[in-house]
Structure formats: structure tokens, C-alpha cells
Amino acid sequence: MGRLHRQPICVASALLVPMTTLATPSWLGLDGVPPSWAVLWLLPWALVDGPVSGALAGVAIGLVMDGLNLGGVSQVPALLLLGWWWGRLGRRAAPVRRTLNLGLLAWLGSMLLGGSLLAQLFVLAGWQLAPALQSWGWHTLWCQALVTGLMAPIVVSLQLLMWRRRVPS
């Protein structure tokens, strides 16, 4: 595990995820769908701190984000998997530096998160509601993934710069 989880300011930054989720202005989203702030926060965390810390941070931020929703679906499984995967990428591969790569990783993460939520809704609601869920579910999935992927080069790059300076190699 890295040392990012020992920095109080970095851990406190996780509190910004639910706050920005609730306070996202409408002009920042696409057709009323905001970006996935959990993905935008977890990606640089896992890349810097490693797979174990990334998975634990994914579970923690997933539980906090699930507390904002009253539905029976959970973000925890997808964020756990993403935190572990991105942490392995940060440890095993060459450091991710290009903004296009960050945007692609955030887009894939948002697609996985949205797909996981959509699959859970299909299971919970039953197949009789499948046509209704498909229309707005796929729309929300694509809009959120697009906005998250477009915002990632800016937001994630800044976080990576700040957090890599705090953690000695």
C-alpha cells in the first residue's frame, strides 16, 4: 500500500465526492445527468496508492454514495473492482501520464459503474419493467460516461499532480 491514505488532506478530499454530487450545477451535466464524481475521485487515488488502498477506498466511497440513494442498488461492487483494477495499473504498468488515457479510464469506469447499477435494477425490478428501464437507463449511462470521460483529463490530472507530490516514490 502507498502512503496516500496517511495524508489527512487526501482522506478529507473524499468528503468532496458526496458534496459535489449533491451540488453539481445543471450546466456541468449532459441532459440533466451529472458526471460520476466517485469515479473521478477514485481513479487518481487508486493509481497513486495501489490496489489494496484503491479497493478499500472504492468500498468506502461506495458506501457513502449508497447512503445518498434510497434505492436497493449499490455502487460498492463496481467501485471495489475499479479501485483494485486501477491500483494494479498504477503499480504494474508504466505511470499513466497522458490525459487521453485518463479520460478513457474514467469513461470505462463510468460505463462499468452505470452498467452495474443498470444490471442491479433489472434484477430488482424484474423483467416486466425492462423496456422502461432500458430507455432511461441507457440514456443516463451514456450521458454520465461521456461527461465523466470529458472531465477526467482536467480533474484527474490535477489530483494526480497533487497526490504524487505528497507520496514519496
pTM over 0.85: yes
Average pLDDT value over all residues in the chain: 86
Take residue 31 and report the three cell numbers written for it: 441532459
Distance CA(18)–CA(48), nearest Å, equals 21
Q: Which domains does the chain have, with CATH numbers?
A: 4-166 (1.10.1760)
Q: List, in order, residues 6 or more apart from 29 with CB less than 8 Å away.
A: 35, 143, 147
The sign of the dihedral angle between the CA atoms of 146, 21, 46, 66 is negative
For the segment 77-133, what is each residue's pLDDT rounded down to a tens digit?
999 999 999 999 887 766 666 888 899 999 999 999 999 998 888 887 776 666 666
pLDDT band at 169 (very low <50, low <70, confident <90, very high): low
Residue 70: what pLDDT? Answer: 67
For the segment 8-54, what is each residue's pLDDT rounded down to a tens digit?
777 788 888 989 988 888 888 888 899 999 999 999 999 888 899 99
The sign of the dihedral angle between the CA atoms of 9, 11, 13, 16 is negative
Take residue 28 and report the three cell numbers written for it: 456541468
Q: Is pLDDT at 1 greater than 60 in this prediction?
A: no
**CA 13: distance to chain centroid?**
14
For the segment 130-159, what is each residue's pLDDT rounded down to a tens digit?
666 667 788 889 999 999 999 999 999 999
Q: List, in order, residues 6 or more apart from 146 with CB less than 8 Å away.
A: 30, 107
